[in-house]
């Protein structure tokens, strides 16, 4: 362990001790973290990664409660039906908190019923193409699509999903022309692009990059703010399309009327865990970027994305289906 890692570990340890003191009087029973997705999902992985650190900091067991179904709605309803005593949190993601509520017309206003607690990570997607496609960069892809209207076939994991919305935003901002081919699930689009049945697809970087490394897919661009250290030669779409960004994020929420002391203590524990070297190494391996901050900062991101994607969803009339 080098001196920089030792120093980071020491700072993280001191932060945890400070959090423990504040949390001892705040949490008096096991803390329930509802994950509105099945075991093995990225959100579930994040919850189980952080749970041991949160247990140490908050002095209570962290119970991960998977409640998948209805694009996150079942998990959110479960949180609202319990006691709002500061011991229930939801590990949500951008899709369940800023896309699904609009498309699915949920029976409650998610922004009125939940409050932001702590952002954990952001992640980005990678736009890839079949190697036989003449276009190898986004400017080339854009030119190809305009020269062959209606020919470029885009495969995604379904209409109204985040990959589809990210590409519709790209169409709006750049004029990229494509025919959307929705699938039920994320595995088959990749298989069909590799086989040449469709031309391009978009999904999480960590799931796509291994296929890029083997040469089975050609990387076009990332949807994040900046290039990733994992693949610094792959450009971002924002380098070609001014202001374009499509980031996913994960974070903890709580039902409204949750005590402020619980929110602040939980936020501090999450932020301390995110700084720990072993957690940082695992997150990097998963293709996640650490995004610690205050509840207010997380709330600003949530509101901005909710408004951004709801506008696009309504323009596409996906909320009417």
Does the pLDDT value for residue 3 go beyond 50? no
Integer Cα distance of 252 and 88 in angstroms = 10
The mean predicted confidence, pLDDT, of the chain is 91
pLDDT tens by residue, 55-106: 999 999 999 999 999 889 999 999 999 888 999 999 999 999 999 999 988 8
| Residue 297: both structure tokens together | 């900062």
Range of the domain at 309: 3-121+248-320
DSSP SS3 for 120: strand
Please tell me whether residues 64 and 33 are part of one structural domain: yes
Exposure string over 87-118, b if 16+ CB within 10 A, otherwise e: bbbbbbbbbbbbbbbbbeebeeebbebbbbbb
Per-residue confidence (pLDDT) for residue 92, from 0 to 100? 96
**Cα 263 to Cα 269: distance, rounded to the nearest angstrom:** 10
Domain of 25, CATH number, reads 3.40.190.150
Closest CA to 50 of 253, 269, 288, 307: 269
Q: Is 188 helix (H, G, I), strand (E, B) or coil?
A: helix
Are 134 and 72 part of one and the same domain? no
CATH of the domain at 194: 3.40.190.10
Instruction: Give yes or no: residues 9 and 116 share one domain.
Output: yes
Quick: pLDDT tens for 147-175: 999 999 999 999 999 999 999 999 999 99
Whether residue 2 has pLDDT greater than 60:
no
Angle between helices 260-274 and 295-315 (to 10 degrees): 90
Based on the structure, what is the number of domains in the chain? 2
In the chain, how many H helices and how many E strands? 13, 10
Two tokens, residue 145:
């699509």
228, 266: one domain:
no
Q: To which residue do tokens 């293709």 refer?
A: 287
Last residue of a domain, one of 208, 239, 270: 239
Given 205, 239, 273, the domain boundary residue is: 239
Other Cβ atoms closer than 10 A to 38: 12
What's residue 213's pLDDT? 96
Res. 321 pLDDT band, cuts 50 70 90: low
Nearest residue to 203 via CA among 235, 155, 239 = 155
> What is the pLDDT, as a whole number, of residue 294?
98
CA distances from 280 to 4, 39, 120, 288, 316 (A): 14, 21, 11, 9, 38
* Same domain (yes/no): 15, 51: yes
């Amino acid at each position: 362990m080098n001196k920089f890692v030792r120093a980071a570990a020491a700072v993280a340890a001191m932060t945890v001790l400070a959090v423990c003191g504040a949390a001892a009087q705040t949490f008096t029973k096991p803390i329930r973290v509802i994950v509105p997705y099945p075991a093995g999902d990225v959100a579930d992985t994040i919850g189980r990664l952080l749970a041991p650190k949160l247990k140490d900091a908050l002095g209570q067991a962290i119970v991960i409660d998977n409640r998948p179904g209805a694009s996150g709605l079942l998990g959110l309803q479960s949180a609202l039906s319990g006691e709002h005593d500061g011991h229930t949190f939801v590990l949500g993601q951008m899709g369940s908190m800023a896309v699904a509520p609009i498309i699915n017309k949920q029976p409650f206003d998610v922004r009125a019923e939940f409050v932001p607690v702590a952002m954990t990570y952001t992640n980005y997607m990678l736009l890839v193409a079949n190697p036989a496609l003449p276009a190898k960069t986004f400017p080339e892809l854009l030119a190809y699509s305009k020269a062959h209207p209606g020919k470029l076939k885009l495969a995604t994991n379904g209409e109204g999903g985040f990959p589809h919305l990210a590409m519709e935003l790209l169409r709006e901002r750049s004029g990229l022309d494509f025919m959307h081919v929705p699938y039920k699930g994320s595995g088959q689009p990749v298989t069909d692009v590799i086989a040449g049945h469709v031309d391009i697809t978009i999904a999480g970087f960590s799931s796509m990059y291994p296929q890029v490394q083997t040469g089975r897919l050609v990387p076009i661009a990332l949807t994040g703010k900046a290039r990733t250290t994992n693949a610094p030669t792959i450009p971002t779409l924002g380098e070609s399309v001014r202001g374009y960004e499509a980031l996913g994020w994960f974070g903890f929420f709580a039902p409204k009327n949750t005590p402020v002391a619980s929110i602040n203590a939980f936020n501090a524990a999450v932020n301390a865990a995110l700084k720990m070297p072993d957690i940082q190494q695992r997150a990097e391996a998963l293709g996640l970027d650490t995004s610690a901050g205050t509840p207010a900062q997380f709330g600003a991101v949530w509101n901005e994305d909710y408004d951004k994607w709801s506008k696009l969803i309504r323009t596409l009339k996906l909320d009417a289906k």
